[in-house]
Amino acid sequence: MANLTRRAMLGTSGGLIAGGLLKTKADAISFADNESENTIQDQDPTKVLGRLTSEVGQRAPEEQPRRLVRNPNVSHSSSSRTPLHQLQGIITPADLHFERHHAGIPTIAPDQYELLIHGMVDRPMKFTLSDLKRFPSVSKLYFIECSGNGGSSYNKNASREVDPQQMDGLTSTSEWTGVPLSTLLQEVGVQKGATWLMAEGGDAAVMARSIPIEKAWDDAMIGYGQNGEAIRPEQGYPARLLLPGWEGNASVKWIRRIEVKDQPTMTRDETSKYTDPLKDGTARQFSFTIDAKSAITFPAYPYALTEPGWWEIQGIAWSGRGRITKVDISTDGGETWNESKLHGPVLSKCHTRFTYPWNWDGKETLLMSRATDETGYVQPALSTLMEARGEGTSYHYNSIRPWKIEEDGRVYFGQGETS
Amino acid sequence: MANLTRRAMLGTSGGLIAGGLLKTKADAISFADNESENTIQDQDPTKVLGRLTSEVGQRAPEEQPRRLVRNPNVSHSSSSRTPLHQLQGIITPADLHFERHHAGIPTIAPDQYELLIHGMVDRPMKFTLSDLKRFPSVSKLYFIECSGNGGSSYNKNASREVDPQQMDGLTSTSEWTGVPLSTLLQEVGVQKGATWLMAEGGDAAVMARSIPIEKAWDDAMIGYGQNGEAIRPEQGYPARLLLPGWEGNASVKWIRRIEVKDQPTMTRDETSKYTDPLKDGTARQFSFTIDAKSAITFPAYPYALTEPGWWEIQGIAWSGRGRITKVDISTDGGETWNESKLHGPVLSKCHTRFTYPWNWDGKETLLMSRATDETGYVQPALSTLMEARGEGTSYHYNSIRPWKIEEDGRVYFGQGETS
């Protein structure tokens, strides 16, 4: 943009004092309610010595009224979601990485942890955590997404009052460190004819999934590190399977056993769940790969635009098949599309940040984003996805998410507004 | 490596139960002392429901005896360092990002925050935090390193008992989000003849530095986001200057004022400090750029290798001039060198992880790493650096760090062992 448009985007500096993010009534109220409890700048900070250094840092108390938290529910088969609309960039802080458990978070003593690999192998072996850390390691940035993510979008009459955390918060990106699963399989010696693995977790659900062995020879790993530190308990401490680009459930947490087999196991977790019913009465099973998807995180419900003018549309895009190659934006309900800016690094099977400057004319409209990945796959409209899958499917909801901008600047989920 | 060498690297699985990391006596003692206070797996975790989901996650209590913390000191002009030898990969968790303050951490209310840009400009302006967030944003992974980092290495008789945190923990990597400084300078309209900026912080030290204006037109930003969330107070909340690849002190935290000028200001902070004395009695001033450097984080003091055999040498490398192109490893005190593996993404002005598999024969030796960046600059030996700078310099200590392996497997800083 030229100098003039940048200035236009700001208006006068003073005019924007009330022009920041998080300008819903709810936020304004929560700010006011909490203000007295928080640290207030009552002195010129240049005239008083500041706090000392610390062992472990804390978030600014002034940020806490914004409730930068996950949204846990109270069942043991439960989840809590990453506040996507309150985050920037691609890294998810580990304490805000989404959770999805089938029987709560187990307590596993790291010095008692063992991973058994057996079945069609020459040398069945148990690996301690120290064993796993002794092998050559790999560190890579990957997203993990629950295949049930986006369920509230898969409805032509979806609620208008759903935010990006509630709708798509079951996806997060971390730098994962671990040992390639191929290293461990070479260690135990896989026998001829082996085609599947059965991966079993050490939680009270004994969550188990069948995995084609090709994924192990490709990029699967046993992860023990997350954003530099040990994996957190709710992400699989002390070790988890990690299948980059595949539905999160198959990346079995607290992994304790891998059986090498010549067929899938048809576990409860991949038959009663994580199989996608189709409209002809059949079902998609082993639908592992996360299809390309994008989500606008601003503007989105519950934000409101305080005035017409320049606003930056922001969001993330990802694909289980590789890199995102472009994210198109429509600011007129899908009539016209323009390419957004992708922020590097653009990595395979990793969240990619996109931004797009938009001059809002103050009129009602629909915003949409549409991701394309390196295989040429294009994120579909809801009607296209429903045509292929039927209305009864339970997983892999990657259709375009429209956001309705009303004349007063309020933003709502706009699925009901599309044809 | 072939299958056989991988197996050799593991030995038998059972033989490595005591073969993990952190096997110093001190760690063993701290584990024993703390064990009773921590969560112990006294039940089969598959037979008892686990913990529920939460709003904000916690580290595994079982990891806490390892003291994954910074090491604060108690002065207001103080620092606390990232535990590099306990982290993997390149991302530093925000609560472990190093600190360096000159008058403690100020408390700045975000709704009272303003950044003034004035001096040789057409339109002096104040920007609120909301104003800054309204502009087109950028998110990038960068390291920040204090120019005093590594001081304890710059001594031919350096202490043997110094760990990577104590020696090099004043460097950390985050994904930073903010507005390009060039955008703000276009906004205010820089006048002809302007060549320098004076950047001033809002802490009680009113820390101020002179910055060549070219850096603003290049990649400088005003940052407000760190690893997805708001910048932490100790890293400059609510906003800081960020000068990728330059000494951390110049990336002024809690930035409140930028004056556009036609000469450097010669502030206290760049004359009494952050100027490098040379042996001929002159000094290097405005030595902003961080030279290429690497640091082995394992094996290093206070680790001990529990047995001869395969171990993975691990570390990080970085350069303020761009990308790291290679990191060579010597396992024989500098006689021979071999290239390590760099783990992607290899990004400009960002930590890069390297690993190298090493078969220790059980004899005393010296390990070294040597980084090269995309400009062809090669990390120097201490003697080379001292020859250029003299013994009295106080900043930019990027010489090769040797680690002595003793016959019993104990590891010490080996500067005194080199010629």
A351 and A383, same domain (yes or no): yes
User: pLDDT tens-digit profile of A233-251?
Assistant: 999 999 999 999 999 999 9
Report how far residue A138's alpha carbon sits from residue A115's, in angstroms, rounded to the nearest whole number: 18
Domain boundary among B250, B265, B283: B283
Residues in A closer than 8 angstroms to B172, CB to CB, are none
B263 and B332, same domain (yes or no): no
Percent of chain B topping pLDDT 90: 73
- Residue B74 above 80 pLDDT? no
Does residue A53 lie within any of the structural domains? no
Task: List, in order, residues 6 or more apart from A259 with CB less than 8 Å away.
Answer: A117, A118, A119, A197, A198, A200, A265
Find the closest chain A residue to B23 by CA distance: A130
Residues in B closer than 8 angstroms to A237, CB to CB, are 60, 62
| Facing residue for B59 by CB, picked from A48, A58, A229 | A229
Shortest distance, CA B419 to any CA of chain A (angstroms): 32
Task: List, in order, residues 6 or more apart from A260 with CB less than 8 Å away.
Answer: A117, A118, A119, A120, A121, A185, A188, A190, A191, A194, A196, A197, A213
Alpha helices by DSSP H, A48-127: none
The distance between the two most distant Cα atoms of chain A, rounded to a whole number of Å, is 74
Nearest to B402 by CA among B336, B306, B333, B353: B333
pLDDT, position B41? 60
Report how far residue B4's alpha carbon sits from residue A402's, in angstroms, rounded to the nearest whole number: 55
Residues in B closer than 8 angstroms to A90, CB to CB, are 139, 175, 228
* Tokens read off for A18: 């009330």
Residue A184 DSSP SS3? helix
Report how far residue A395's alpha carbon sits from residue A284's, in angstroms, rounded to the nearest whole number: 10
Find the closest chain A residue to B94 by CA distance: A57
Residue B255 DSSP SS3? strand
Whether the CB-CB separation of B161 and B301 falls below 8 Å is answered with yes
Whether the CB-CB separation of B417 and B366 falls below 8 Å is answered with yes
B109 and B233, same domain (yes or no): yes
Residue A298 DSSP SS3? strand
User: pLDDT tens-digit profile of B160-190?
Assistant: 999 999 999 999 999 999 999 999 999 999 9
Report how far residue B138's alpha carbon sits from residue A355's, in angstroms, rounded to the nearest whole number: 9
pLDDT, position B265? 96
Ramachandran category for residue B337: left, alpha or beta (phi over 0 → left; psi -120 to 50 → alpha): beta
The one-letter code for the residue type at B91 is I
- Residue A21 above 90 pLDDT? no
Report how far residue B81's alpha carbon sits from residue B248's, in angstroms, rounded to the nearest whole number: 13
pLDDT, position B67? 67
pLDDT, position A16? 30
Average pLDDT in chain A: 88
pLDDT, position A419? 54
With an 8 Å Cβ cutoff, are A53 and B90 in contact? no
B222 and B106, same domain (yes or no): yes
Percent of chain A topping pLDDT 90: 73
Find the closest chain B residue to A127 by CA distance: B13
Shortest distance, CA B282 to any CA of chain A (angstroms): 33
> E strand or H helix at A27, and its extent?
helix A25-35
Does residue A352 lie within any of the structural domains? yes
B216 and B312, same domain (yes or no): no
Nearest to B117 by CA among B181, B63, B173: B181
Residues in B closer than 8 angstroms to A104, CB to CB, are 49-52
φ, ψ (nearest 5 deg) of residue B238: -90, -10
Rounded to 10 deg, the angle between the B3-10 and A181-188 helix axes is 90
pLDDT, position B367? 98
Sheet holding A338-339, edge to edge: A338-339, A324-330, A365-373, A403-405, A411-413
B34-A228-B154 Cα angle (round to 5): 90
Asked whether the bond before A345 is cis by omega within 30 degrees of 0, the reply is yes
Residues in A closer than 8 angstroms to B18, CB to CB, are 130
- Tokens 């691609």 identify what position? A90
Task: Give me the CATH number covering residue B179.
Answer: 3.90.420.10
- Residue B14 above 50 pLDDT? no
A192 and A318, same domain (yes or no): no
* Tokens read off for B369: 């790493």
Does residue B338 lie within any of the structural domains? yes
User: pLDDT tens-digit profile of B80-119?
Assistant: 999 999 999 999 999 999 999 999 999 999 999 999 999 9
User: pLDDT tens-digit profile of A42-66?
Assistant: 688 888 888 888 888 888 887 765 6
- Tokens 């994924």 identify what position? A215
A269 and A320, same domain (yes or no): no
- Residue B33 above 90 pLDDT? no
The one-letter code for the residue type at A333 is G
Residue B254 DSSP SS3? coil
Residue B10 DSSP SS3? helix
Preferred mutation among A35, A75, A107, A183 to probe B, highest tally of B CBs within 10 A:
A107
Mean pLDDT score, B258-280: 91
Report how far residue B39's alpha carbon sits from residue A224's, in angstroms, rounded to the nearest whole number: 19
Asked which of A9-23, A358-372, A392-406 is least confident by mean pLDDT, the reply is A9-23
Task: Give me the CATH number covering residue B353.
Answer: 2.60.40.650
B320 and B345, same domain (yes or no): yes
The distance between the two most distant Cα atoms of chain B, rounded to a whole number of Å, is 74
ipTM: 0.89
Higher pLDDT, A278 or A13: A278
- Residue A339 above 80 pLDDT? yes
Sign of CA dihedral A244, A247, A250, A252: positive
* Tokens read off for A419: 């044809």
Domain boundary among A246, A261, A284: A284
Whether the CB-CB separation of A356 and A326 falls below 8 Å is answered with no
Report how far residue A97's alpha carbon sits from residue A94's, in angstroms, rounded to the nearest whole number: 5
Domain span at residue B122?
A: 101-283
pTM: 0.90
Whether the CB-CB separation of A320 and A246 falls below 8 Å is answered with yes
- Residue B296 above 70 pLDDT? yes
| Facing residue for A41 by CB, picked from B108, B183, B228 | B108
For residue B375, the 8-state DSSP code is: T
pLDDT, position B8? 36
- Tokens 């790969």 identify what position? A289
Q: Looking at the 3D structure of chain B, how many domains does it have? A: 2
A vs B, Cβ pairs < 8 A, gives: 383
Find the closest chain A residue to B13 by CA distance: A127
* Tokens read off for A283: 């079902």
pLDDT, position A64? 66
CB neighbours (10 Å) of residue B234? Answer: 27
Does residue B312 lie within any of the structural domains? yes
* Tokens read off for A35: 């203000």
With an 8 Å Cβ cutoff, are A112 and B41 in contact? yes
Does residue B95 lie within any of the structural domains? no
Whether the CB-CB separation of A249 and A209 falls below 8 Å is answered with yes
A212 and A306, same domain (yes or no): no
**For residues A345, A347, A352 and A355, what is the CA-based torsion angle, rounded to 10 degrees?**
40
With an 8 Å Cβ cutoff, are B87 and A229 in contact? yes
Residues in A closer than 8 angstroms to B141, CB to CB, are 345
Average pLDDT in chain B: 88
Percent of chain B topping pLDDT 70: 89
Does residue B40 lie within any of the structural domains? no
B261 and B303, same domain (yes or no): no
A217 and A297, same domain (yes or no): no
* Tokens read off for A72: 């846990």
Shortest distance, CA A416 to any CA of chain B (angstroms): 29
Report how far residue A230's alpha carbon sits from residue B87's, in angstroms, rounded to the nearest whole number: 8
For residue B140, the 8-state DSSP code is: E
Alpha helices by DSSP H, A102-231: 129-134, 164-168, 181-188, 213-218
Ramachandran category for residue B289: left, alpha or beta (phi over 0 → left; psi -120 to 50 → alpha): beta
Ramachandran category for residue A204: left, alpha or beta (phi over 0 → left; psi -120 to 50 → alpha): alpha
- Residue B321 above 70 pLDDT? yes
The DSSP-derived string for B175-230 is EEEEEEHHHHHHHH-BPTT--EEEEEESSTT--EEEEEHHHHHHT-EEEEEETTEE
Higher pLDDT, A392 or A304: A304
Does residue A305 lie within any of the structural domains? yes
User: pLDDT tens-digit profile of B185-239?
Assistant: 999 999 999 999 999 999 999 999 999 999 999 999 999 999 999 999 999 999 9
User: pLDDT tens-digit profile of A140-194?
Assistant: 999 999 999 999 999 888 899 999 999 999 999 999 999 999 999 999 999 999 9
Domain boundary among B224, B258, B283: B283
Report how far residue A16's alpha carbon sits from residue B109's, in angstroms, rounded to the nearest whole number: 17
pLDDT, position B267? 93
pLDDT, position B54? 84
Report how far residue A104's alpha carbon sits from residue A110's, in angstroms, rounded to the nearest whole number: 18
Whether the CB-CB separation of A232 and A95 falls below 8 Å is answered with yes
pLDDT, position B30? 30
Report how far residue A287's alpha carbon sits from residue A265's, in angstroms, rounded to the nearest whole number: 15
Q: How many angstroms separate the Cα of B210 from the Cα of each of A85, B103, B121, B249, B330?
A: 36, 19, 17, 11, 40
B254 and B378, same domain (yes or no): no
Shortest distance, CA A295 to any CA of chain B (angstroms): 16
Report how far residue A372's alpha carbon sits from residue A362's, in angstroms, rounded to the nearest whole number: 29
Does residue B65 lie within any of the structural domains? no
